Structure 1
Amino acid sequence: MNGQLLAAAPMEGLTTAVFRRLHHQYFGGTDLYYIPFITPTVEPKFTDRHLKELSPEVNAGIPVVPQLLSNRSADFIWAAKALQDLGYKEVNLNLGCPSGTVVAKGKGSGFLRDLYALERFLDEIFSAGIDIPISIKTRLGWANTEEFGDILNLYKKYPLSLLIVHMRLKTDQYKGEVRKEALLEHLDEIPFPLGVNGDMITTADMIDFSKTFRDPKMLMVGRALMADPALFRKYKGGPAASLEEIKNFTTALFDAYTEAFQNRRNAMMRMKEFWFFQANLFEENPKAFKNIFKSKTEEDFLAAIEEIEAGRPLTDARFGWKKPL
């Protein structure tokens, strides 16, 4: 664990500036928050929507790393240089997103299907005079773990500051078990710092991953941090979340989303996404869990949450969102 970084994975719609600010305030323990991907446009300028996540004022006092999603080197290059001008110390390239709308455009994990095009892209961005470190978040491949050897050989040609591996294939989406063996097979070949990502639900899982992958530079967690916002704090020896903390945090989150959206109902819809994971920190209550998503009014929504919270938080979250392949 010496020098190991604990990072919040970028989750579109969930780990936004609103969540990052409040999670950092209430629970701490997170060394880096990766900002959900920004897609740079042909016009070399961040939009107002981009800046709601990227502006230094929004992220003041919070350790963040921006992530870019692109398959056009010119777009990546201007955006990376603009991020440097904003004061960022690292930029992350998204080669992992498995969304159908993303991969259809040859972006995210869709880029892994064409290593020749990816090589041209990487040649161009690494020779463009970008002065901040470039890291990559990747999947093991598109449809077969045997692809990872060729993918890794390509990455080895470049001075990556960090390689973060989500140990699934594009075709896995977020289902099934992570494919640890595929990464372990190539562990000795990786010449740069390694981050591992995928299905660390408890502190015991994090300890196991740390041992299995020989104390990697980074442990990155997404969904389990939504379920148990104190996960990193516990891993560092701190206390589990109290019921009062969870209540205060989720109330503040609801209010902050309301302010951001200027609409209480839209904020409630975002909170439903959050509670899909958060409910797994409490005793299983299928009826109340279902009522969260059936609720049409804020009164019904809050009543369902209150029923779930009556079960008191568990020490560790359940893996309640696991789906088979």
Structure 2
Amino acid sequence: MKIYFAPLEGVTGHIYRNAYEEFYGKGRIDKYFVPFISPNQTNGFTAREQRDMNPDNNVNMPLAVQIMTNCADLFINAARLLYEKGYTELNLNLGCPSGTVVAKKRGAGFLSVPDELDEFFAQIYENELLADKKVKLSVKTRLGMEEPEEFDQLLDIYNRYPFEELILHPRVQKDYYKNKPRLEYFEKALEKSTNPVCYNGDLFTIADYRRFKERFPSADRVMIGRGFIGNPALIEQIATEESRTATTHEDTTCLRQFHDRIYHEYLKIMSGDKNTIHKMKELWFYQKPYFDNADKAFKKIRKSRNMAEYEAAVQEFFAQAVPTERDTVQFTK
């Protein structure tokens, strides 16, 4: 099984990716996806995007850069700039359900105009970078905007083009991340897609992974995001399941080292302690469901306003936290 690390805007930047690979990935993640960039008319990237894509910040790490746009010319310009930096695999974001994104017909919003989407693909595949296979393109998609039946037309469109793979999150845009993934549509994609199909959605525990493999024995690739962020050691559990080399360690010991690396690296580049603490709180939100006996410490982390308060709360957490193997996990704000 190929294992991919999903992009999550504001979370899985190069600092997080490098720390994760060092402490947990250890060569077992087959591909990391850079959170989406949005090319603009100036044909440039923001300072944050340039830093995140800098090859010096992504050494010895298989990487695909995600792009979010509905303009073929902007996509081609971005592809050219990325190719010049050495990136040969791109991913088109057709899955982001954010209202502000969808209103501009980007992300999942692009699915609302399938004819325009088809024309977009036709145009970009006329460019020599894709036509000559200098750059590979994968697509991350949802089933549609309103109803899952929209996927039938979308799959017909996808089948006209030679994607590296089709990554399917089997929800519609209006679901956001609620309701359950519609696995019957992933099954349909496996049967009818002319491109390799990768599954994405709600693989949070090793039990989830086992259930998925049992239901879809022919599936050969999955993308995991929130599950790895919440429980970084999930990759080791999967590695053991797949008979890959796994390194055994005390979860909280490694997690503390992992946390400290990310925390101190953020402090170096971010303006103000509050911004760093805010970034760290995002990680704790995903990690909380995996621990027992730490509610008070989590509350203190959430309410911390400066470095002293935050570091004291983190110390308290690691003094009492007990990671618990769970059958299922839910993330609720």
- Whether contact under 8 Å (1:206, 1:219) holds in the other structure is no
Amino acid paired to 2:265: A
1:118 deviation in Å?
A: 0.6
1:60 deviation in Å?
A: 1.3
Counterparts in 2 of 1:140-159, with a 5 A limit?
140-159=143-162
Counterparts in 2 of 1:225-236, with a 5 A limit?
225-236=228-239
- Rounded to whole Å, the distance in 2 between the matches of 1:186 and 1:243 is 39
- Whether contact under 8 Å (2:207, 2:328) holds in the other structure is no
| SS of match in other structure, 2:110 | helix
Amino acid paired to 2:40: T
Counterparts in 2 of 1:54-133, with a 5 A limit?
54-130=53-129, 131-133=134-136
1:119 deviation in Å?
A: 0.9
- Rounded to whole Å, the distance in 1 between the matches of 2:200 and 2:257 is 29
1:17 and 1:148, CA in 2 relative to 1: closer, same or farther beyond 3 A? same
1:284 deviation in Å?
A: 5.0
- Rounded to whole Å, the distance in 2 between the matches of 1:99 and 1:196 is 21
Q: Which digits, 9 at most, give the CA deviation of each residue in 1:203-226, with x for residues without a partner?
A: 221232233233323211111111
4+ residue segments displaced more than 6 Å: none
Determine the structure 1 residue equivalent to 2:8. Answer: 11
- Whether contact under 8 Å (2:293, 2:322) holds in the other structure is no
- Whether contact under 8 Å (2:208, 2:328) holds in the other structure is no
Amino acid paired to 1:99: S
Amino acid paired to 1:217: D
1:318 deviation in Å?
A: 5.8
1:269 and 1:83, CA in 2 relative to 1: closer, same or farther beyond 3 A? same
1:13 and 1:241, CA in 2 relative to 1: closer, same or farther beyond 3 A? farther
- Whether contact under 8 Å (1:73, 1:124) holds in the other structure is yes
- Rounded to whole Å, the distance in 1 between the matches of 2:250 and 2:164 is 33
- Rounded to whole Å, the distance in 2 between the matches of 1:138 and 1:318 is 24
Determine the structure 2 residue equivalent to 1:21. Answer: 18
Determine the structure 1 residue equivalent to 2:329. Answer: 319
- Rounded to whole Å, the distance in 2 between the matches of 1:62 and 1:280 is 29
Amino acid paired to 2:22: Q
| SS of match in other structure, 2:143 | strand
- Whether contact under 8 Å (1:283, 1:308) holds in the other structure is no
1:240 and 1:211, CA in 2 relative to 1: closer, same or farther beyond 3 A? farther
- Whether contact under 8 Å (2:36, 2:66) holds in the other structure is yes
- Rounded to whole Å, the distance in 1 between the matches of 2:249 and 2:330 is 19
Amino acid paired to 1:11: L
Q: Which digits, 9 at most, give the CA deviation of each residue in 1:64-115, with x for residues without a partner?
A: 1100000000000111122222112311000000111111110000000000
- Whether contact under 8 Å (1:156, 1:190) holds in the other structure is yes
1:277 deviation in Å?
A: 0.8
Q: Which digits, 9 at most, give the CA deviation of each residue in 1:103-148, with x for residues without a partner?
A: 1110000000000111111110111112211110000111111111
Judge which range, 135-144 or 24-33, deviates more: 24-33
Percent identity for Structure 1 against Structure 2:
34
1:262 and 1:132, CA in 2 relative to 1: closer, same or farther beyond 3 A? same
Which segments of 5 or more consecutive residues in structure 1 lack a partner in the other structure?
none
1:189 deviation in Å?
A: 0.4
Determine the structure 2 residue equivalent to 1:301. Answer: 310
1:56 deviation in Å?
A: 0.8
- Rounded to whole Å, the distance in 1 between the matches of 2:210 and 2:287 is 22
- Rounded to whole Å, the distance in 2 between the matches of 1:17 and 1:93 is 19
Q: TM-score, normalised by structure 2?
A: 0.91
Q: Which digits, 9 at most, give the CA deviation of each residue in 1:256-302, with x for residues without a partner?
A: 11112143221111000010012223215433323322222333323
1:317 deviation in Å?
A: 8.2
- Rounded to whole Å, the distance in 2 between the matches of 1:186 and 1:317 is 27
Determine the structure 1 residue equivalent to 2:243. Answer: none
- Whether contact under 8 Å (2:36, 2:93) holds in the other structure is yes
- Rounded to whole Å, the distance in 2 between the matches of 1:284 and 1:144 is 41
Q: Are residues 1:209 and 2:221 paired?
A: no
Judge which range, 185-194 or 70-79, deviates more: 185-194
Counterparts in 2 of 1:47-58, with a 5 A limit?
47-58=46-57
Determine the structure 2 residue equivalent to 1:270. Answer: 279
Determine the structure 2 residue equivalent to 1:46. Answer: 45
> How many residue pairs align between the two structures?
320
- Rounded to whole Å, the distance in 2 between the matches of 1:240 and 1:163 is 35
Determine the structure 1 residue equivalent to 2:36. Answer: 37
